[in-house]
Amino acid sequence: MKQRAQFTFEVEETIVLRQPVSISNVFCRQCGSIVGIALPQTVADLSRISEREIFRLVEAGEIHFIEAKRFMICLNSILMFGLPPDDGASRRPKVGS
């Protein structure tokens, strides 16, 4: 009689926010609707996109920004841009040389 073993692994991920998340709602001209906006640092904390990459995407016109008192990122455009699937590649150790 064959015996079958089943292993279950749970992966936990903890995200620590240094500051309370501040999201405001404003009209984004490019989206043509009221959208949530947040600081680039907040967007970086909540996504897998680095702050530097966010600025690069803004300059490339791929994500929207609103400049009021502070430079804010349109969260709708971040969603439309899409986040890369987390395949764990960034956490995998490099093998060989």
Phi, psi dihedrals of residue 45, rounded to the nearest 5°: -65, -35
* Contacts of Zn ion in 2-61 (CB under 5 A): 28, 30-31
For residue 88, give both structure tokens: 């764990």
Q: Min. distance of Cβ 67 from Zn ion in angstroms? A: 13
For residue 17, give both structure tokens: 């926010």
Q: Min. distance of Cβ 51 from Zn ion in angstroms? A: 18
Rounded-to-10 torsion of CA 58, 64, 69, 71:
-30
* Contacts of Zn ion in 50-69 (CB under 5 A): 64
Residues found near Zn ion in the complex (CB under 5 A): 28, 30-31, 64, 74, 76-77
